[in-house]
Amino acid sequence: MGRLDRSPHRLLAATLLCAAILALTAPAATAAGPPKGRFVVGDSIALSASDELQHLDYAVNAKVGRQFGPGVWIVRHEAELGSLPRRVIVHLGTNGSIDPDDCDRLVAAAGPARRVFLVTIKVPRSWELPNNETLRACASRSQKVHVIRWWSKSHAHPEWFADDGYHPNADGQRVFARYVDRQVDAVLAGLRARGAR
């Protein structure tokens, strides 16, 4: 009978012990910072190059027709889960205008422990120029944000694109992935040379 009386106390003690262990280990995980790696959030342009990007060890979350706003939610969600890597590459804006506040919200969602790389867009639409200006202005407001100039790299190379002029063909997909990767590497090398992270 005495053993039965003590079993609820044992259960309570075990529960409290587990809670204490979780409480002690959670701050340690947070203190370690975000995981290493590179994460692309994008639209159909990034989706078309996802195999090439994954071959270069990028995680890719891309979807046809995605606007910039949902990208904010994705970055925030991944950051809250603790699964958002230190390097966040964003290719959004092909499908409509970018709200400058959304760009600032995405940067804030990524947090100060990560670097954000905003890729300029190439799309024959009225919002191409204003969106690229928005991306550059957004990057200028934070030392943790950098611009990858895909428009400058690609606009004189129609042979990299399908007939619509902005979705990369097989050659363009390879160029896009390698260009993004080289640009991220170049920024990080420059930061290391200056002793920054």
Cβ-contact 123, 166 below 8 angstroms: yes
C-alpha 155/C-alpha 158 separation (Å) is 7
Q: Mind listing the pLDDT tens digit for each residue in 1-35?
A: 445 455 555 544 554 554 444 444 443 334 578 99
Compute the Cα dihedral for 103, 104, 105, 106 and give only its sign: positive
Q: What is the pTM of this model?
A: 0.84
Q: Examine the pLDDT at 50 and tell me if it is beyond 80.
A: yes
Tens digit of each residue's pLDDT (9 = 90 or more) over 95-148 = 999 999 999 999 999 999 999 999 999 999 999 999 999 999 999 999 999 999
Instruction: Give the Cα separation of 89 and 124 in Å (integer).
Output: 22
Using one digit for the tens of pLDDT, what is the confidence trace for 134-186?
A: 999 999 999 999 999 999 999 999 999 999 999 999 999 999 999 999 999 99
